[in-house]
Amino acid sequence: MSAHRLFRDRGYETVGVAELCSDAGVNKGSFYHFFSSKRELLLEVIGGAWDETGFLASWEAETPKLPMDKLRQYLQELFAYHYADREATGHVCGSLLGNLALELSTSDREVAEKLDELFKRETGAVAKLLAEATDLGEVSLGNPYRAAEAVVACLQGLLMMAKIRNDLDVLPDSETELLRLAGVAQPWL
Amino acid sequence: MSAHRLFRDRGYETVGVAELCSDAGVNKGSFYHFFSSKRELLLEVIGGAWDETGFLASWEAETPKLPMDKLRQYLQELFAYHYADREATGHVCGSLLGNLALELSTSDREVAEKLDELFKRETGAVAKLLAEATDLGEVSLGNPYRAAEAVVACLQGLLMMAKIRNDLDVLPDSETELLRLAGVAQPWL
């Protein structure tokens, strides 16, 4: 989706309605038919960002898998997404959540709350898998939600570093290494 | 330092030279005596940010301590710094590194490189302690530098979440919990 990409890559303030329209190939009349303002579009983009990835949807539809396999698949897809983005644009783009969080979270509480919802959906999905994995004895975690926050925070922090360096090498070599870094991986992973 | 705080809390673009001067109680003439531009001041602020914290300096001067005790002290001081900032300003401020990283790292490569240096100084200091701790058998880590990157990335990610929520509760309850979250803590920590 073009607005997602523009906001992620260039931030909110520097992208105007004219550019959003020309990038999407629509005229301003159409834009204001759907959205009362650029800010309303931003809130829609953030609200839809998790569903758009389709990460979780594909797992739910599949034959049952062990929860840690699902989590590893999620991380593999996420890494692949960032590598594909770099191929397509020629630079490391970071994440919509991270990029907007630091631009707008102080100045616009409603945007901050939407970003927090997005973060909680990702964390919740990871925590659900970690809780299932704990129940099945795949891993041993006292607090799966805290562990999920660590996984998501670690990812966001690493993506921020990758963006600063314009180099994805700071990402772990594999999803297993990320889980180990985030304190979740067990020797048998 | 007032410029550090202004750039951290409000970003680079929205803070003007006039505001920097009035906040610091100097006139524009003095400003341009020292700095050719706002951007030059920004580069100075980033370059001095690590020394300014004084975290490492205080350890080096002290009686020898075990490396993991030093690392825990660093994290305790860092948490205390963010809690004190929230008390002083009434909101969660995040970090200069994180806040500027996502505003400027795509648009200004020189700023990005300075931010990367800051990140590498923090990571290097943590990695040195983890390597010493590994040598002494305090912890068992295959790659102390990677583990240090995880600690720093996890911290940055959690600070970003704390900023979105304007709530420091997302930070771990203790430095030991952070080390556990980042995969470094051992049972005896």
Per-residue confidence (pLDDT) for residue A19, from 0 to 100:
92
**Which of B103, B161, B182 is facing A11, going by the closest CB pair?**
B103
Confidence of residue A55 (pLDDT cuts 50, 70, 90): low
Look at residue A14 and tell me if it is in a domain. no
> What pTM did the predictor assign?
0.82
Kind plus residue range of the DSSP H or E element containing A10: helix A2-10
The verdict on residue B27 lying in a domain is: no
In a domain, B21, yes or no: no
pLDDT of residue A37: 92
Span of A43-57, B38-52, B175-189 with lowest mean pLDDT: B175-189
How many interface pairs between A and B have CB atoms less than 8 angstroms apart?
133
Q: Is residue B129 part of a domain?
A: yes
Query: B157: which chain A residues are within 8 Å (Cβ-Cβ)?
Result: 152-158, 160
pLDDT value for B187: 40
Instruction: Find the CATH number of the domain harbouring B147.
Output: 1.10.357.10
Give contacts of B182 with chain A, Cβ < 8 Å.
150, 154, 181-183
pLDDT at A26 over 60: yes
Instruction: Report the range out of A81-90, A95-104, A136-145 with the highest average pLDDT.
Output: A81-90
**What total number of domains does chain B contain?**
1
Q: Which residue of A has its CA nearest to B162?
A: A116
pLDDT for res B36 = 92
What does B65-118 look like in DSSP terms, one character per residue? --HHHHHHHHHHHHHHHHHHHHHHHSS----HHHHHHHHHTTT-HHHHHHHHHH
| A140-167: pLDDT as tens digits | 887 888 888 888 888 888 888 888 888 8
Q: Supply the angle between the helices B96-104 and B109-135 in degrees, to the nearest 10.
A: 140
Q: Which amino acid is at B165?
A: R
Nearest CA in chain B to A153: B157
In A, which residues are within 8 Å of B147 by CB distance? 181
Q: What is the mean pLDDT of residues B109-138?
A: 89
Asked if residue B33 is part of any domain, the answer here is no
Whether B15 maps to a domain, the answer reads no
- Interchain pair A181, B147: CB under 8 A: yes
Asked whether the beta carbons of residue B163 and residue A10 sit closer than 8 angstroms, the reply is no
Owning domain of residue B74: 49-181
Residue B25 included in any domain: no
